[in-house]
Structure 1
Amino acid sequence: MSKAVVSALYDSDVFRMACRQFDKAADAINLPEAIRDRTKYPKRCLAVALPIKREDGSVTVFEGYRVQHHLSTGPSKGGVRFHQNVTIGEVAALAMWMSWKCSLVGLPYGGAKGGVIVDPNLLTAGELEHLSRRYMQELVNFVGPQVDVPAPDVGTNERIMGWMMDTYSNHVGHVEPGVVTGKPIALGGSQGRREATGAGVAYLVKKYLSDLNLPITKATVAIQGFGNVGSEAALALAEYGAKIIAISDYTGAVYNPKGIDIQKALTYIRYQRVLRDFDGGEPITNEQLLELKCTVLIPAALERVITEKNAPKLKCRLLAEAANGPTTNAADKILDQREDLEIIPDVLCNSGGVVVSYFEWLQNLSNFYWGRDEVMQKLFAILDKAKDAVDYQKRKFKFSRRLAALTLGIQRVADAKQSRGLFP
């Protein structure tokens, strides 16, 4: 497939951003031209129309995508996003990042991602179920435990994964829990999967603060995005002794220099669904949250929120990228020059989710299940190994931590493709 054709299909700010990251990493490790495009561009994409009968009797056709970036080391793996701003370019970029993430932490997966253009908050529970099942029905010949394994992402959850698993199982004629991860425990989900991404973020924050000789019990944390990842990171960091001074969702942010009661915030969201009017602190904007003075800043929402405009204004000591692609290329250049700020790049920082998804998949294939303590112990061991590899690569080649992580991930995928050769 020519470069022009692929670029035209996926062309978007976020896909160009992922490609620039790849190009920089490929140049840094002198990746041969013959293997570059094969390693860079997605292998396969699917666009589907999803007609849903609404409860008022009308029919709405939603649009959905699935991009499989590469399949050279095993099945592809990645979440499904339900969001009104989904584009195929965004999905392709997220699939690319998932490839480097899986490779970096040593999982036998290629990257994939899916998405449906929909605001799930505007659907009834029944409509959401119909949409989830229809999406899986359209994907049924392109996914499977040895082909492509979806998981939750922004706007989806374990209940939706349960519906998708049931749809696939009905199609193949037997229960197939390994087709998706992030399922309810009753359907073969793993202990620890719900909190895995946030717990992994918190664990790496604790490790890097220790490297910087900053006691976590004196650390202040601001978290942009209080969905699954942001809230679980907040809970874990509070458990470690950190003070969470700001949280936010798309309706706005809350700031309290004395510390926010995270359990109270979670209870509020359970009933109100959004943070707006939460009385645990003073209301501020998401933009103000990013520029607060704090020890740790955690962008845990959507991509491209750290820009060249606010990068010089960040007042954190550690930027922990819980979201995918939260920092633009232009912002990255600015942050690289700042010696007062360390970054935990997204492909390392938020890899806990896919690691425990891998554990869930293993447990499904073997029909043998582990306890939560065992899951967390194995997760932290993998994160330790990946962190050590990234920091060694950073020191050895004098790379930024992001470049170190990307070069490790990309080199391993390129090596796999090179070793397999080119099928005639």
Structure 2
Amino acid sequence: MEHSGATATAVLPANPLADAHAQLAEAVGHLGLSEGTRRMLATSRREMMVSIPLRRDDGSTAVYTGYRVQHSLTRGPAKGGLRYAPSVDLDEVRALAMWMTWKCALVDVPYGGAKGGVAIDPRDHSHAELERVTRRYTTEILPIIGPEVDIPAPDIGTDESTMAWIMDTYSVAKGHTVPGVVTGKPISLGGSLGRALATSRGVAHIALMAMASRGMRPEHATAAVQGFGKVGRGAARLLAEAGVKIRAVSDIDGAIYMHEGLDIARLGEHVDRSGSVMGFDGAEAIDPGYLLTLDVDVLVPAAVEGVLTEANADRVQASIVVEGANGPTTKAADRILRERDVLVVPDILANAGGVVVSYFEWVQANQAYQWSERDVNDRLEERMTRAWHDVVDYAGAHRLTYRQAATALAVQRVTEAHRLRGLYP
């Protein structure tokens, strides 16, 4: 999602790649494209799997597996996050890379989709060990990344420090500093103002427009946010500032609930002190799974994939679901929610703020010039608003759900780029 440094362990659907392929096939059918086109769009352009030996702090040696998948290079360099999680495998990375292609096309940034991952639990490793893993991973994938080829960014389990290590390792290999090789860097190393909150800001902006489309006023609305990392935490804060009552949030340790609404600013201070939402004064501890079925107007799954499934979709009480995470709703759950008239704003639209501002960061690196935070936020809002209206208009014209409309629009744009470039040789 081009998130910034969440630490949750991913809990994936049985096969995220199957869901991604099913969404693509539906869009291909709607657009009347050929089977050859579907196969081309379903197949990654380039995949690399690498071995990452690590000398641990105690002197022992561990070996991890890393991946980098570039799904498409047709509309520009590949772009996508790098995640560290024990569940990472090749099919997950393939699915996420494909979703990144559609996301970039939908918000009209000149990138194709990519994704990377290392099957490692960062919580079990020291800062120094993670630096060594990152530098070795970068060295292994160095031939296929670069500011004009493939630009990594933070995702689950990685953060701006990870990006700084990648940039430094790549720059040492090239013999000069190359700030454009990654985005999500520290500000002092060429990162963009506004990048840290970009995904959250996009999620909140889209959520407020979705609420308006259903006749909801923020000050009369309630929400639950799954995930209190940098996406969910920022989204909860921005929605609360808009007047939405945040009744529940969760993190990897559990979930908390307060009927009258949580004080998100004070909760943030509590998390900074304790490292968890649990134990927040005045809040009731609830089962994390129950959060998804609470009586609220808006549900924001902003943690990991595959949390809304056939097993719980019929109990979702929210009338709007805004996907802050990548792939939080399985295909079976999507069908159930559609039948129940729940408005689902898909991830490739809702959480695209991160890649939009990553694009802005890359542009600034290429220009060797820094924009103001106000410029970044204004341009982000303009991109998200335009994409929202594109999806709403297309869905209305073709009687599609927002996910179907968003995917069809994105596939159509990528296919048109393929057509214009032609097939070589």
Whether TM exceeds 0.5 here: the answer is yes
- SS at the partner of 2:144? coil
1:26 to 18, 28, 32: 28
- SS at the partner of 1:140? helix
Deviation by residue 1:79-124 (Cα, 9 ceiling, x = unmatched)? 0000111111001100000000000110100000000111111111
Residue 270 (structure 2) aligns with: 268
- SS at the partner of 2:48? strand
Structure 2 CA distance for aligned equivalents of residues 130 and 417 of structure 1: 39
Structure 1 CA distance for aligned equivalents of residues 147 and 77 of structure 2: 7
Structure 1 residues 74-85: aligned runs within 5 Å: 74-85=76-87
The 3 A distance-change label for structure 1 pair 25 and 280 is farther
Residue 41 (structure 1) aligns with: 43
Structure 2 CA distance for aligned equivalents of residues 45 and 225 of structure 1: 30
Residue 374 (structure 2) aligns with: 373
Residue 10 (structure 2) aligns with: none
Residue 223 (structure 2) aligns with: 221
- SS at the partner of 2:231? helix
Residue 364 (structure 2) aligns with: 363
Does 2:413 align with 1:412? yes
Query: Is contact 1:253–1:289 with CA below 8 Å preserved after alignment?
Result: yes
Structure 2 CA distance for aligned equivalents of residues 125 and 279 of structure 1: 31
Structure 1 residues 87-106: aligned runs within 5 Å: 87-106=89-108
Deviation by residue 1:274-301 (Cα, 9 ceiling, x = unmatched)? 3333335111122100000001100001
Query: Is contact 1:306–1:326 with CA below 8 Å preserved after alignment?
Result: yes
1:227 deviates by 0.9
Does 2:350 align with 1:349? yes
1:266 deviates by 2.1
- SS at the partner of 1:222? strand
The 3 A distance-change label for structure 1 pair 355 and 278 is same
Structure 1 residues 189-200: aligned runs within 5 Å: 189-200=191-202
2:126 to 114, 124, 127: 124
1:364 deviates by 0.2
Query: Is contact 2:69–2:94 with CA below 8 Å preserved after alignment?
Result: yes
Query: Is contact 1:12–1:89 with CA below 8 Å preserved after alignment?
Result: no
Residue 6 (structure 1) aligns with: none
Structure 1 residues 186-335: aligned runs within 5 Å: 186-335=188-337
1:272 deviates by 2.8
Structure 1 CA distance for aligned equivalents of residues 189 and 347 of structure 2: 30
Structure 2 CA distance for aligned equivalents of residues 361 and 150 of structure 1: 11
Deviation by residue 1:110-147 (Cα, 9 ceiling, x = unmatched)? 00000011111111111111111111111111100000
1:12 deviates by 6.2
Structure 1 CA distance for aligned equivalents of residues 336 and 14 of structure 2: 22
Structure 2 CA distance for aligned equivalents of residues 275 and 92 of structure 1: 32
Residue 396 (structure 2) aligns with: 395
Residue 159 (structure 1) aligns with: 161
Deviation by residue 1:129-170 (Cα, 9 ceiling, x = unmatched)? 111111111111110000000000011111111111111111
Structure 1 CA distance for aligned equivalents of residues 119 and 22 of structure 2: 26
Moved more, 223-232 or 256-265: 256-265
Structure 1 residues 104-119: aligned runs within 5 Å: 104-119=106-121
Identical-pair percentage: 46
Read off the aligned partner of 1:150 and give its amino acid letter. Answer: P
Read off the aligned partner of 1:165 and give its amino acid letter. Answer: M
Higher relative CO (CA 8 A, sep ≥ 6), structure 1 or 2?
2
- SS at the partner of 1:422? coil
The 3 A distance-change label for structure 1 pair 280 and 23 is farther
1:51 to 53, 59, 80: 53
Query: Is contact 2:24–2:38 with CA below 8 Å preserved after alignment?
Result: no
Query: Is contact 2:200–2:234 with CA below 8 Å preserved after alignment?
Result: yes
Q: When the two structures are superposed, what TM-score results if normalisation uses the length of structure 2?
A: 0.95
Query: Is contact 2:54–2:132 with CA below 8 Å preserved after alignment?
Result: yes
Structure 1 CA distance for aligned equivalents of residues 65 and 277 of structure 2: 29
The 3 A distance-change label for structure 1 pair 21 and 220 is same
Read off the aligned partner of 1:96 and give its amino acid letter. Answer: M
How many pairs does the alignment contain?
413
Structure 2 CA distance for aligned equivalents of residues 21 and 137 of structure 1: 34
Read off the aligned partner of 1:370 and give its amino acid letter. Answer: W
Query: Is contact 1:244–1:259 with CA below 8 Å preserved after alignment?
Result: yes
Q: Give the ranges of 4+ consecutive aligned residues of structure 1 lying more than 4 Å apart after TM superposition.
A: none
Residue 61 (structure 1) aligns with: 63
Structure 2 CA distance for aligned equivalents of residues 139 and 275 of structure 1: 37
CA RMSD of superposed structures (Å):
1.2
Query: Is contact 1:35–1:418 with CA below 8 Å preserved after alignment?
Result: no
Read off the aligned partner of 2:106 and give its amino acid letter. Answer: L
Read off the aligned partner of 2:414 and give its amino acid letter. Answer: V
Query: Is contact 1:261–1:280 with CA below 8 Å preserved after alignment?
Result: no
Residue 5 (structure 1) aligns with: none
Read off the aligned partner of 2:146 and give its amino acid letter. Answer: G
